[in-house]
Chain A
Protein backbone atom coordinates (compact mmCIF):
# COMPACT_ATOMS: atom_id res chain seq x y z
CA UNK A 1 0.00 0.00 0.00
CA UNK A 2 1.66 3.19 -1.20
CA UNK A 3 -1.41 5.34 -0.85
CA UNK A 4 -1.68 8.82 0.53
CA UNK A 5 -5.33 9.82 0.87
CA UNK A 6 -6.46 13.42 0.83
CA UNK A 7 -9.89 14.82 1.58
CA UNK A 8 -11.78 16.62 0.30
CA UNK A 9 -10.89 16.37 -3.39
CA UNK A 10 -12.43 19.75 -4.11
CA UNK A 11 -13.16 22.68 -1.81
CA UNK A 12 -14.69 26.07 -2.46
CA UNK A 13 -14.51 28.51 0.43
CA UNK A 14 -15.17 32.16 1.07
CA UNK A 15 -12.52 34.50 2.39
CA UNK A 16 -14.11 34.54 5.85
CA UNK A 17 -14.51 30.77 6.14
CA UNK A 18 -12.50 28.33 8.21
CA UNK A 19 -11.87 24.93 6.67
CA UNK A 20 -9.43 22.05 6.99
CA UNK A 21 -7.67 19.79 4.54
CA UNK A 22 -6.90 16.27 5.67
CA UNK A 23 -4.23 13.78 4.70
CA UNK A 24 -3.76 10.19 5.81
CA UNK A 25 -1.19 7.48 5.18
CA UNK A 26 -0.74 4.00 6.64
CA UNK A 27 2.70 3.17 5.33
CA UNK A 28 4.39 3.84 8.66
CA UNK A 29 6.07 6.91 7.21
CA UNK A 30 7.40 9.36 9.76
CA UNK A 31 7.70 12.40 7.49
CA UNK A 32 4.71 14.20 6.01
CA UNK A 33 4.61 17.24 3.77
CA UNK A 34 2.28 19.90 2.44
CA UNK A 35 2.92 21.31 -1.01
CA UNK A 36 1.08 24.00 -2.93
CA UNK A 37 0.81 23.79 -6.71
CA UNK A 38 -0.49 26.61 -8.87
CA UNK A 39 -1.63 25.91 -12.42
CA UNK A 40 1.18 25.05 -14.83
CA UNK A 41 3.77 25.29 -12.04
CA UNK A 42 5.76 22.72 -10.07
CA UNK A 43 4.79 21.91 -6.47
CA UNK A 44 6.22 24.26 -3.84
CA UNK A 45 7.02 23.02 -0.38
CA UNK A 46 5.03 24.60 2.46
CA UNK A 47 5.59 22.49 5.57
CA UNK A 48 7.44 19.37 6.68
CA UNK A 49 6.57 17.29 9.71
CA UNK A 50 9.14 14.81 10.91
CA UNK A 51 8.18 12.43 13.70
CA UNK A 52 5.06 14.53 14.31
CA UNK A 53 7.05 17.71 14.88
CA UNK A 54 7.11 20.65 12.51
CA UNK A 55 10.61 20.72 11.09
CA UNK A 56 10.27 23.06 8.11
CA UNK A 57 7.98 26.04 7.54
CA UNK A 58 8.82 27.68 4.22
CA UNK A 59 7.72 31.15 5.35
CA UNK A 60 4.08 30.29 4.85
CA UNK A 61 1.52 32.94 5.94
CA UNK A 62 -0.19 32.26 9.25
CA UNK A 63 -3.57 31.88 7.56
CA UNK A 64 -2.28 28.34 6.84
CA UNK A 65 -1.88 26.32 10.02
CA UNK A 66 -0.62 22.73 9.86
CA UNK A 67 -1.30 20.10 12.46
CA UNK A 68 -0.03 16.55 12.85
CA UNK A 69 -2.30 14.76 15.38
CA UNK A 70 -0.46 11.45 15.00
CA UNK A 71 2.01 9.70 12.73
CA UNK A 72 -0.67 8.81 10.16
CA UNK A 73 -2.54 12.09 9.90
CA UNK A 74 -1.71 15.56 8.70
CA UNK A 75 -4.13 18.47 8.60
CA UNK A 76 -3.93 21.92 7.08
CA UNK A 77 -6.24 24.45 8.72
CA UNK A 78 -7.29 27.37 6.56
CA UNK A 79 -8.60 30.71 7.74
CA UNK A 80 -9.10 34.07 6.07
CA UNK A 81 -7.63 32.95 2.78
CA UNK A 82 -7.25 35.13 -0.28
CA UNK A 83 -8.28 34.33 -3.86
CA UNK A 84 -4.59 33.97 -4.79
CA UNK A 85 -4.41 31.01 -2.39
CA UNK A 86 -6.52 29.03 -4.85
CA UNK A 87 -4.37 26.08 -5.92
CA UNK A 88 -3.93 22.32 -5.74
CA UNK A 89 -2.73 21.36 -2.26
CA UNK A 90 -0.72 18.17 -2.24
CA UNK A 91 0.18 16.03 0.72
CA UNK A 92 3.15 13.68 0.59
CA UNK A 93 4.82 11.25 2.93
CA UNK A 94 8.18 9.52 3.10
CA UNK A 95 9.75 7.06 5.45
CA UNK A 96 12.10 9.53 7.06
CA UNK A 97 12.86 13.15 6.28
CA UNK A 98 16.45 12.69 7.39
CA UNK A 99 17.33 9.73 5.25
CA UNK A 100 18.90 9.89 1.84
CA UNK A 101 17.24 6.90 0.26
CA UNK A 102 13.58 7.50 0.70
CA UNK A 103 10.79 7.84 -1.82
CA UNK A 104 8.11 10.47 -1.35
CA UNK A 105 4.57 9.44 -2.24
CA UNK A 106 1.95 12.04 -3.05
CA UNK A 107 -1.78 12.13 -2.59
CA UNK A 108 -4.20 13.15 -5.33
CA UNK A 109 -4.50 16.64 -3.92
CA UNK A 110 -7.28 18.96 -2.83
CA UNK A 111 -8.31 21.48 -5.46
CA UNK A 112 -9.02 24.65 -3.42
CA UNK A 113 -10.89 27.63 -4.80
CA UNK A 114 -11.19 30.77 -2.66
CA UNK A 115 -14.02 33.08 -3.65
Chain B
Protein backbone atom coordinates (compact mmCIF):
# COMPACT_ATOMS: atom_id res chain seq x y z
CA UNK B 1 0.00 0.00 0.00
CA UNK B 2 2.87 2.39 -0.51
CA UNK B 3 2.36 3.87 -3.93
CA UNK B 4 -0.51 4.38 -6.34
CA UNK B 5 0.23 6.15 -9.61
CA UNK B 6 -2.14 7.88 -12.00
CA UNK B 7 -1.73 10.19 -14.95
CA UNK B 8 -2.70 13.70 -13.86
CA UNK B 9 -4.81 14.93 -16.78
CA UNK B 10 -7.15 13.55 -19.43
CA UNK B 11 -9.17 15.49 -21.96
CA UNK B 12 -11.90 13.91 -24.10
CA UNK B 13 -14.75 15.06 -26.32
CA UNK B 14 -18.33 14.63 -25.18
CA UNK B 15 -19.69 11.30 -26.37
CA UNK B 16 -16.27 9.64 -26.60
CA UNK B 17 -15.00 7.03 -24.15
CA UNK B 18 -12.58 8.00 -21.38
CA UNK B 19 -9.99 5.62 -20.01
CA UNK B 20 -8.26 6.49 -16.76
CA UNK B 21 -5.30 4.34 -15.76
CA UNK B 22 -3.78 3.50 -12.41
CA UNK B 23 -0.91 1.36 -11.20
CA UNK B 24 -0.40 0.14 -7.66
CA UNK B 25 2.43 -1.58 -5.87
CA UNK B 26 1.02 -3.76 -3.10
CA UNK B 27 0.41 -7.27 -4.39
CA UNK B 28 -1.61 -8.04 -1.28
CA UNK B 29 -4.19 -5.39 -2.13
CA UNK B 30 -7.61 -6.93 -1.90
CA UNK B 31 -9.98 -4.27 -3.14
CA UNK B 32 -9.35 -1.42 -5.55
CA UNK B 33 -11.67 1.56 -5.74
CA UNK B 34 -12.51 4.46 -8.00
CA UNK B 35 -13.71 7.70 -6.43
CA UNK B 36 -14.95 10.84 -8.19
CA UNK B 37 -14.44 14.32 -6.74
CA UNK B 38 -16.12 17.38 -8.19
CA UNK B 39 -14.74 20.85 -7.35
CA UNK B 40 -15.23 21.74 -3.69
CA UNK B 41 -16.98 18.46 -2.94
CA UNK B 42 -16.20 15.24 -1.10
CA UNK B 43 -15.36 11.89 -2.65
CA UNK B 44 -18.07 9.86 -4.30
CA UNK B 45 -17.49 6.12 -4.47
CA UNK B 46 -18.05 5.11 -8.10
CA UNK B 47 -17.16 1.46 -8.15
CA UNK B 48 -14.71 -1.09 -6.83
CA UNK B 49 -13.26 -4.42 -7.88
CA UNK B 50 -12.04 -7.36 -5.89
CA UNK B 51 -8.52 -8.50 -6.70
CA UNK B 52 -9.60 -11.93 -7.91
CA UNK B 53 -11.74 -10.38 -10.66
CA UNK B 54 -10.44 -9.02 -13.94
CA UNK B 55 -13.43 -7.00 -15.05
CA UNK B 56 -16.49 -5.34 -13.59
CA UNK B 57 -19.15 -3.44 -15.48
CA UNK B 58 -21.68 -1.03 -13.99
CA UNK B 59 -23.76 0.92 -16.52
CA UNK B 60 -21.35 3.31 -18.28
CA UNK B 61 -18.42 2.27 -16.12
CA UNK B 62 -16.07 -0.62 -16.85
CA UNK B 63 -13.20 -1.50 -14.53
CA UNK B 64 -10.38 -3.67 -15.83
CA UNK B 65 -7.79 -5.21 -13.53
CA UNK B 66 -4.50 -6.78 -14.60
CA UNK B 67 -3.25 -8.22 -11.37
CA UNK B 68 0.01 -9.47 -12.85
CA UNK B 69 0.97 -5.95 -13.96
CA UNK B 70 -0.80 -4.29 -11.00
CA UNK B 71 -2.69 -2.14 -13.47
CA UNK B 72 -6.24 -0.87 -13.03
CA UNK B 73 -8.31 1.14 -15.48
CA UNK B 74 -11.66 2.89 -15.45
CA UNK B 75 -13.49 3.28 -18.73
CA UNK B 76 -16.39 5.71 -18.96
CA UNK B 77 -18.53 5.16 -22.03
CA UNK B 78 -20.34 8.06 -23.72
CA UNK B 79 -18.57 10.63 -21.56
CA UNK B 80 -20.73 13.61 -20.59
CA UNK B 81 -19.82 17.11 -19.39
CA UNK B 82 -21.09 16.09 -15.96
CA UNK B 83 -18.30 13.53 -15.81
CA UNK B 84 -15.72 16.34 -15.59
CA UNK B 85 -14.06 15.84 -12.21
CA UNK B 86 -10.98 14.41 -10.55
CA UNK B 87 -10.91 10.61 -10.40
CA UNK B 88 -8.96 8.89 -7.65
CA UNK B 89 -7.82 5.32 -7.74
CA UNK B 90 -7.40 3.80 -4.27
CA UNK B 91 -6.11 0.46 -3.02
CA UNK B 92 -7.18 -1.22 0.18
CA UNK B 93 -4.34 -3.04 1.85
CA UNK B 94 -3.64 -4.87 5.05
CA UNK B 95 -1.77 -2.53 7.39
CA UNK B 96 -1.28 -5.24 9.97
CA UNK B 97 -2.97 -6.25 13.24
CA UNK B 98 -6.20 -6.96 11.42
CA UNK B 99 -6.71 -3.52 9.99
CA UNK B 100 -6.95 -2.19 6.47
CA UNK B 101 -6.18 1.19 4.98
CA UNK B 102 -6.81 3.04 1.76
CA UNK B 103 -3.99 4.60 -0.21
CA UNK B 104 -5.03 7.08 -2.90
CA UNK B 105 -3.40 7.97 -6.17
CA UNK B 106 -2.80 11.65 -6.94
CA UNK B 107 -5.97 11.83 -9.01
CA UNK B 108 -6.66 12.26 -12.72
CA UNK B 109 -8.42 15.43 -13.77
CA UNK B 110 -10.89 14.58 -16.52
CA UNK B 111 -11.97 17.47 -18.73
CA UNK B 112 -14.86 16.86 -21.12
CA UNK B 113 -15.00 19.14 -24.15
CA UNK B 114 -18.55 19.83 -25.39
Interface residues of A (CB under 8 A from B): 4, 6, 40-43, 45, 48, 50, 55-56, 90, 92, 97-109, 111
| CB <8 Å contact, B99 and A109 | no
Interface residue count for B (Cβ, 8 Å)? 25
Q: Which of chain B's residues have a CB closer than 8 A to the CB of A41? A: 106
- Of the listed residues B41, B42, B101, B105, the one surrounded by the most CB atoms of chain A closer than 10 A to its CB is B42
Q: Could you mark each residue 87-107 of chain B with 1 if its beta carbon is under 8 Å from any beta carbon of chain A, else 0?
A: 010001011001111101111
CB atoms of B42 and A42 under 8 A apart: no
Could you tell me if A100 and B31 are in contact, using CB atoms closer than 8 angstroms?
yes
**B82 within 8 A of partner (CB):** no
**Contact pick for A111, options B30, B40, B101, CB 8 Å:** B40
Given contacts A45-B101, A45-B102, A50-B99, contact A103 B40 (CB under 8 A): no
Query: What is the minimal beta-carbon distance from B100 to any residue of chain A, in angstroms?
Result: 6
B43 contacts partner chain A, Cβ-Cβ < 8 Å: yes
Q: Given A42-B105, A43-B43, decide whether A106 and B48 contact each other with a Cβ distance below 8 A.
A: no
| Contact surface of B with A, Cβ cutoff 8 Å | 30-31, 33, 35, 40-45, 48, 50, 88, 92, 94-95, 98-102, 104-107
Known A56-B99, A98-B98, A100-B92; 7 more pairs at CB < 8 Å: A43-B88, A43-B104, A48-B101, A99-B100, A104-B102, A105-B45, A109-B42
